[in-house]
Amino acid sequence: MLQKSLTALNKRMQHIASEMERTHIAEYVDLLNRPISLIWRNLLSGVARGVGIAIGFTFFAATILYVLQILGALNLPIIGDYIADIVRIVQIQLEGKGY
């Protein structure tokens, strides 16, 4: 009976050890013990995230402006005037001039 319990406990401990190794808990603890490295990694990831957002927004805004220019060229009665005004304002802002 005792041997069976010890075998089951040993099997369970090996399973827990393999799961901890699979989750890389040792590397995480090592990273927490080196705060400069943690700060550096977080800084780099923040900069990368900010650059990605800026590039993504640029492509999104360019696409929207392109679609608005196409809609403005269609000369839709009421919507065309608003779209033309929006495109004109954006182009003035992109050129760096005031209203």
Helices 2-22/25-32 angle, 10° precision? 60
User: How far is 25 from 18, CA to CA, in rounded Å?
Assistant: 11
pLDDT computed for residue 53 by the predictor = 97
Condensed to tens digits (0 to 9), the pLDDT of residues 45-92 reads 999 999 999 999 999 999 988 887 887 777 767 777 777 788 888 888
pLDDT reported for residue 99 = 54
Copy the structure tokens of residue 94. Answer: 């992109």
pLDDT class of 10 with cuts at 50, 70, 90: very high
The Cα–Cα gap between 34 and 57 comes to 35
pLDDT over 70 percentage in the chain: 93
User: Tokens 């805004």 appear where?
Assistant: 61
pLDDT tens per residue across span 27-36:
888 888 999 9
Distance CA(80)–CA(60), nearest Å, equals: 21
